[in-house]
Amino acid sequence: MVLNDFNKLEARAMSQQEIFEVALPKVEHVAAGAVLLRSYAETSQAAVLESIHQIEASSPFRHMVTPGGFRMSVAMTNAGRIGWVTDRSGYRYSPLDPLSGRAWPHLPGLLSRLASDAAASAGFPSFEPDVCLINRYAPGARMALHQDKDERDFDQPIVSLSLGLPATFMFGGLKRTDKPLRIRLLSGDVIVWGGVNRLAYHGIAPLPKGVHPLTGAFRINLTFRCGL
Ligand code: SIN
Ligand code: FE2
């Protein structure tokens, strides 16, 4: 009788553990302060893409120019109270979209919640994004190693969501010459970096050709930042 009760209790405990395994995101350690949440947005990615279509209807993707005069291979747009831009006069955040002359589209609640929840799962509990920079990569597009350092407050992490075609994310150290890890990012994966690695160099290797059921011939990446 007693043994039977014990078995029942154990059975209940096991099923709770199974529930946690389903409910809790898989957190893979990348480096100090940096984690990969595999498939984190798997179930919401179609809704995320729908939000992106709404954003691009008022602020379309465009190829910006670097301060050195090079056209970026990645097409970009933003949502939020401010947006990241680059042109001949430098990298900066701007409250207006230079293309439309109007404010950037507001950041949909679905996206800001997803970013805050992902940050919390990665150990950063008070992340509320001000901006979402949306990058669109066609095959061959790449992002050279760089630091995200146009923000004022480096206490908050960067939250980065990948959609569509797989890409190789390079995650280096605090010096440009530090050899980067190469991480294959798939649709729905989220990577979060902050703390001692907030200013780590990172980039994307040239995107291989492919077709993805969600995004066709593209990869789309959303990076959420705050502290601007
Ligand atoms: C970025 O660093 O701005 C983009 C990274 C990515 O596309 O995954
Ligand atoms: Fe970046």
Count of C-beta atoms within a 10 Å radius of residue 12: 10
Report CA(126)–ligand 1 centroid distance (Å).
Answer: 22
In the block, residue with structure tokens 């190829």 = 63
Evaluated on CA atoms 19, 187, 189, 118, the torsion sign reads negative
For residue 135 and ligand 1, the question of a CB distance below 6 A is answered with yes
- Mean of all residue pLDDT scores within the chain: 92
Which residue has a Cα nearest atom 7 of ligand 1? 221
The model's confidence at residue 84, banded by pLDDT at 50, 70 and 90, is: very high
For residue 78 and ligand 1, the question of a CB distance below 6 A is answered with no
Cβ neighbours of residue 24 closer than 8 Å, sequence gap 6 or more: 121
Nearest atom of ligand 1 to the alpha carbon of 133: 3
pTM, rounded to two decimals: 0.90
Which one-letter DSSP state was computed for residue 92?
E
- Quick check: 94 pLDDT over 60? yes
For residue 202 and ligand 1, the question of a CB distance below 6 A is answered with yes
Which residue has a Cα nearest atom 1 of ligand 1? 203
pLDDT tens column, 135-179: 999 999 999 999 999 988 899 999 999 999 999 999 999 999 999
The model's confidence at residue 25, banded by pLDDT at 50, 70 and 90, is: confident
Domains annotated for the chain, with CATH where assigned, are 28-225 (2.60.120.590)
For residue 143 and ligand 1, the question of a CB distance below 6 A is answered with yes
Query: In the chain, count of helices (H) and strands (E)?
Result: 3, 13
The model's confidence at residue 9, banded by pLDDT at 50, 70 and 90, is: very low
pLDDT tens column, 190-226: 999 999 999 999 999 999 999 999 999 999 999 999 9
